[in-house]
Amino acid sequence: ERDRLQSVTRKLQGVTHFTYSGFTYDQDRRVTNASTINSATPFTFSFTDAIPSGTTAPGAPAAGTWRTDSTADDYGRPTSLLRFIDATNKQTYNFSYATAFTPRPTQLSRGYNGSATSITTFVYDDFGRLLQTTVPEAGVPGAPSPTHYEYDVASRMTLKRVGVGSAAVRTSAYFYDSLGRTTFVDHDTEHPVNCVGAANGTPIQDEEYKYDNCTGDAPNGVSCSNALGHLTISRAILQCSSGQVIKRGRWYNYDSAGRVSLVAYATVTGATIGTPALSTKVYTAASRLQGWESPLISAYGTRYTFGAANGQVTGLTTYSGGTSITSGHSYRAFGPLSGLNTAVVQPVDPSTSRELRRLVLANSYRSDDSINTIRWSLGPYSSTPTIDLLNQTMSYTAAGVLSQRNDSADTQSSRYYGYDALLRMTCEARGSGTGHPTSANCDTSSTRLAGLFTYGDGQSASSPPDVRLTSFIKGAGTATSASYTSPSTETSTYLGGSGQTQQINRTGSNIVIGYDLLGRRTFEYSTADATKSRRDYTYLPNGQLGTLAGKTSSGNPYSVVVRYDAEGHPLTITKGSLSYELFWDDADRLIAASLNNGSIRWSYHYQEQTLISATREISNAVKRFWVISDERGLPYRFMDEQGATFWQARWDATGWRQIVGTPQANMWVPFALPGQILLDGTAAFSGASTTTVRPELSLNRWRGYDPMVGAFLQPDPTDTTARSDMFTRVPGIRSRTILPV
């Protein structure tokens, strides 16, 4: 019909980048089919009256799979979600309501064919405010503790109590000014800290905020100008030191248009505010960010050039000490970066001359807008690049899920991915030095295997749905080994419908895991070597991961201590004699890092609002690096301005990172997926042969994360992320690009 959408076309400067015309409608004008690139295998949709009731994806491994149905009651409220495992059996998610007039579900039960093996409950007041949640992970399996919420008359949360009814109950109190703005957050009111007499390093981790001005409470040179109605101070009260309170804060100056013009970072010891690190920002007349300086080195900064025709960033200039390098950029229509071209200097003869070369990124896309190829290359400035650094070609299932990634520049980075009936990854096979993996690699005993995975389907409280893994097999050989005749097999144990792994049974040994009364992991170790493989965890008063203690490959003890800013970003990471201080912008991006009290300083530059740094600079050697990343944002290589590789890695979907060769000195690369910070050196070891039994842990914003089992160390008491989509974190693979990098 004339008013039904028939096709979608996207063009940039007259060039068609994307077109789609695969819609089919029924007599009631509802979409029933949406074709993929292969028009013979469309997505199909079903309806009950006017409400969508089912979706089936093409290319399923068996009849009846890759299908999701839903039902609703007479009031249009969702009552069930059914994910088909085969033509008959399914994972079920059932929603219950207190009354016919309750708009929000008061219970979510998960199970198998309608059973309730894992239950989350919610309680609301008459105003629809959440009063209580009880999730299976938040406490002892089978007997979780609820989380309570209280509000003032303006519906602002005043108290959040975690672990109610247990000896570990923890309360956070929130305070506001007369305009309803948060002024203070007191975490763990049950255990107040007085730094007079407290041990050095005693954590506090409270938060304080000020608005409108910062008179008498600012570092030298910071005035909080034009701040009426704006946040001026954001501070985290970190810990005790020598009887004094240690704080770390941000101070904000604004321009006449109310835009942040300067951010000052400073540490407060008692009543003394330290010397600030300043980061200035510059805007266009249209209020777009045009550039900013690094808070650690004012000579380093980022400047953007905007295209006159479409307003997109066409150039990114990074400068240091008066030297600048401009990168040219091109884009998909209404889409991501499709190309990058930047000059680099390649030495020909250090005693005579240097040849100008260029680094080129060229992406291509399929007609459905998914990434087809990613190619990073290096070559002469005036001709076609000749050296491939990364050259990946993607293949997909009929449903658009990534199934194969072939890398002709580094075949050992090639991967094949297999999926089950619920689109969960079941296989990851590696490439080799001579060829690419194929689907057969997932089924034979001579595969170059990265992993075989199985999952819980909700048949019982010991096999709840949504758990990341029930078993995992990892190939024992290296990326070049053609055999996994002695694989490492793991089986995860669950209890009480909780998605927190209680124990991992391994070939020849087990991983024992302990939790506290709030459901937070407190330790784990391998029974083959309970001393060397052990990792212990403690948490801050606000629930964030505070310390991680373990042993190195040689058996020496270490302790990683993490503190956070008021926004929840990692602020300091200390491990023995190593200390890292991190500086973040308001878009959750790391913009600078200071190592060992400034002996080494990194500055990071971004392509406008992207989350992956385009370039980074190190101060002590005055060097600039470009990041070579794949479609997920995982860094594979760091290359300097002379075209030399300083750091290189390969990645498995489980989070195992294999460093290739020996990194150059001072190459601190804590990055994994966007939003993750790897805690370097926290891999768990066992035995005299220094066998790695667990990979390094990471921080996903403020929560500790174990990539091997795909589980957070701390549960989410509101159940908003603890059972997140399988594909948002490993072992899931995104099929869409998140470049630019």
What residues make up the domain containing 30?
1-113
| 119-144 per-position pLDDT tens digit | 999 999 988 899 999 999 999 998 99
Position 685 pLDDT exceeds 50 = yes
From residue 62, how far is each of 87, 256, 300, 352 by CA, in Å? 8, 62, 56, 65
Share of the chain above pLDDT 90, in %: 38
- Reduced to 3 states (helix: H, G, I; strand: E, B; else coil), residue 442 is helix
Is 156 contained in some domain? no
Sequence-ordered alpha helix ranges (H) in 91-235 = none
Please tell me which of 43-57, 375-389, 538-552, 605-619 the model is most confident about, judged by mean pLDDT: 538-552
CB 385 within 8 A of CB 358: yes
Q: Kindly provide the b/e burial profile for residues 192-219, where b requires at least 16 CB atoms within 10 angstroms of the residue's own CB.
A: ebebeebeeeebbbbbbbbbebbeebbb
d(CA 184, CA 180): 12
Is 651 contained in some domain? yes
Is 81 contained in some domain? yes
Is 736 contained in some domain? no
Binning pLDDT at 50, 70 and 90, where does residue 445 land?
very low
The last residue of one of the domains, among 113, 129, 149, is 113
Q: What is the mean pLDDT of the chain?
A: 83
Tell me which residue of 119, 107, 707, 85 sits closest to 456, measured CA to CA: 85
CB 201 within 8 A of CB 560: no
Is 262 contained in some domain? no
Domains identified in the chain, total number: 2
Site of tokens 């407060």: 268
The last residue of one of the domains, among 96, 113, 130, is 113
pLDDT, average across residues 98-122: 91
| 538-568 per-position pLDDT tens digit | 999 999 999 999 999 899 999 999 999 998 8
From residue 421, how far is each of 48, 63, 457, 670 by CA, in Å? 24, 9, 11, 34
Is 459 contained in some domain? yes
Is 154 contained in some domain? no
CB 325 within 8 A of CB 624: yes
Q: How far is CA 287 from the centre of its chain?
A: 29
The last residue of one of the domains, among 113, 137, 168, is 113
d(CA 478, CA 155): 57
| Whole-number pLDDT of residue 477 | 45
pTM of the predicted model, to two decimals?
Answer: 0.88
Is 737 contained in some domain? no
